[in-house]
């Protein structure tokens, strides 16, 4: 129950952040996105060994990134919190887990 409260609080904060990003002017957002793209190494995903090709990192804008974070929180709430709060029998938990395994839950929330 406390985990669910934390997720709900986090989603509320993300909503406030989305509101702030929406109110920022386009020039400020573009400057922030350029700054972020300059501070990361574009070859960060390259394996240390072997001849794997360099994978180019694609940066999303601030608003899209925060919206994706919100989606992950919602999926965690549904996949983890609801499982334990609503799954009151072993059979029900197994059924919910099988549904989760075939659904499109974000890989980051597994």
pLDDT tens digits along 71-109: 888 877 777 777 667 766 777 777 767 766 665 555 554
What domain range includes position 85?
Answer: 2-109
Judge whether residue 13 has pLDDT over 80. yes
The total number of residues shown for the chain amounts to 110
Q: What is the pLDDT of residues 30-70, one digit of tens each?
A: 887 777 777 666 666 555 555 666 666 677 777 888 888 88
pTM (predicted TM-score): 0.45
Total domain count, the chain: 1
For helices 62-76 and 2-23, give the axis angle rounded to 10 degrees.
Answer: 160
């Amino acid at each position: 129950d406390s985990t669910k409260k934390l997720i709900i609080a986090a989603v509320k904060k993300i909503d406030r952040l989305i509101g702030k990003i929406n109110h920022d002017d386009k020039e400020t957002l573009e400057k922030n996105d350029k700054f972020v793209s300059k501070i990361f190494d574009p070859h960060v995903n390259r394996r240390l060994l072997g001849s794997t090709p360099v994978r180019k990192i694609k940066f999303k804008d601030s608003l899209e990134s925060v919206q994706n974070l919100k989606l992950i929180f919602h999926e965690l709430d549904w996949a983890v919190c609801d499982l334990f709060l609503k799954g009151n029998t072993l059979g029900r938990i197994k059924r919910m887990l099988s549904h989760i395994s075939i659904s499109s839950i974000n890989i980051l929330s597994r």
